[in-house]
Amino acid sequence: MNPVFHDQLQFRTRRQFLGNAGQFSLGAIALQAMQQQGVALPKADNPLEPRRPPFPAKAKRVIYLHMSGAPPHLDLFDYKPELVKRDGQNCPDSELKGRTFAFTTGVPKLMGTPRTFKQYGKAGMWMSDACPNFHGIADEITMVRSMFTDQFNHAPAELLLFTGHTRQGRPSMGSWATYGLGTENQDLPGFVCLISSGTQPSGGQGLWGSGFIPSVYQGVQCRSKGDPVLFASNPAGMSRELRRKTLDALRELNEAQAAELGHPETMTRIAQYELAYRMQASVPEVMDISKEPQHIVEAYGAKPGESSFANNCLLARRLVENGVRFVQLFDWGWDFHGTGVDNGITDGLTKKMAATDKPVSALIKDLKQRGLLEDTLVIWGGEFGRTPFREGRTAASKVLGRDHYPDCFTLFMAGGGVKSGFDYGSTDELGFHIAENKVHVHDLQATIMHLLGFDHERLTYRFQGRNYRLTDIHGHVVKDLLA
């Protein structure tokens, strides 16, 4: 039984029945075409079985470091001397007409960065004093300064970035990757999510959800403090032997139901129960960073037993080292409006970066030292950018902040088949528009899928009568980024 065929049973219509009936139906022809293209379909009895991608892959795994709230790129990476020169002037009317901003009305004042910028690495990458540890990895990364998106509010922008759509219900990027590739370690989830700073991202659990594809491909949220996975431990009075007998009985019942109804989620349920049983033994071992050498713990700035972004970075390395396919780190607190000292672009940004740029730099160096960076794609960034002018609500405040801005933002990538020490794209002299080499979030998704060995237009899942994909009907691989 294959879930690709049976996922439609719960949504059966006459049109779908006729379209899928018989060996010469359009559905059968499409399936044959997929097999001819080398797309390996998941097996129903083991949906997480490791599979080869249809095309040569530069990356075997992904670590996506998402700074939830949108970092102020103009104060970190995108240096604008002309904007500094025109600091305090009225924003040009041409940049305001017909525009809507999240919290700014009227005519705001241009704001040059108060940070100090210098060039680093062989490529002479501009970076500010706010991210001192990033200076040392300039030769390892590709800096993309020409990202843009369609959304200027957090939740829809994050959903668009991670699921390809602005509303809940679509499979996330990690789910697509795990659906296509399975996982290399059958005792661990293929897709893991880690959250720091005490708050979930605005886009919610849909950012690591599986949408309408089988739920075995959704991300498993783990914790660096307390039980690694909620509800995975046996309840009081249940031994591991009794748990095994219980699962065996449940498996027989579920297999009988699957044979009768052919529902793909029944087989998914079996796979999830079995994975949870194996995880009880494997996850605590992998998640115990106290087993790391002291110099590694110190390099990350990690503190075993606590919950922090630094701990999560070290956990990310341990997870991919043990065969996890896709790891997402979400760190809340990057919404730098300047409504308080903690979200201002002077002291607030310094404090936030102090807790994050050290572990990110350590992660990239650690992966390289272990020979993992070559086939591990690391991505750092937010969901959109920040305005070149002061945020309207805080215009009279001593604390500097910027509003949401979808037209321009910066992210960087390392390893996994992208160029190193490479600057790509640029914005205009005031930071309002992309001047060259635009990269939409759908293009980023297409490029990630390409590095994993997929044509983003062919990695699809049929649901309610049509094929869906991560990039919807958009996206182009940015070949200039590829090593």
Positions of E strands within 190-314? 191-196, 220-222
CA-to-CA separations, 80 to 73, 87, 111, 116, in angstroms, rounded: 11, 11, 10, 11
The stretches in the chain having pLDDT less than 70 are 1-45, 223-248, 250-252, 262-265, 267-284
Q: Tokens at residue 300, please?
A: 């990350």
Q: What is the pLDDT of residue 434?
A: 98
For residue 97, the Cα-to-chain-centroid distance in whole angstroms is 33
Distance of alpha carbon 124 from alpha carbon 481, whole angstroms = 17
Domains of the chain and CATH, by start: 60-227+301-481 (3.40.720.10), 229-286 (no CATH)
Query: Nearest 10 degrees: CA dihedral of 12, 16, 20, 26?
Result: -160
Tokens of 273: 């129960």
Angle between helices 154-163 and 173-181 (to 10 degrees): 10
Please tell me the total number of residues recorded for the chain in this structure: 483
Report the alpha-carbon distance of residue 149 to residue 410 in Å, rounded. Answer: 11
Pairwise CA distance, residues 150 & 156, whole Å: 9
Packing angle, helices 264-286 and 240-261, rounded to 10: 160
Neighbouring CB atoms inside 10 A of 37's CB total 11
Beta bridge partners of 90: 109
> Any idea what DSSP says for residue 19?
H
CB of 316 within 8 A of CB of 356?
Answer: no
Cβ atoms of 343 and 197 closer than 8 Å = no
440 in Cβ contact with 148 (< 8 Å): yes
pLDDT at 288: 86
Cβ neighbours around 229 below 10 Å, total: 19
CA 222, chain centre distance (Å):
15
Angle between helices 357-369 and 347-354 in degrees, nearest 10: 30
Tell me which residue has tokens 């956990």.
315
pLDDT at 101: 94
Q: What is the pLDDT of residue 189?
A: 87
> What pLDDT was estimated at residue 31?
41
pLDDT in the model for residue 371:
97
Q: What is the dihedral of CA 28, 33, 39, 43, to 10 degrees?
A: 20
Please give the Cα distance from 415 to 478 (Å, whole number): 15
Q: What single DSSP character describes residue 234?
A: P
Query: What pLDDT, on a 0 to 100 scale, did the predictor assign at position 26?
Result: 40
Q: Provide the sign of the torsion angle of the four alpha carbons 414, 416, 420, 423, taken in this order.
A: negative
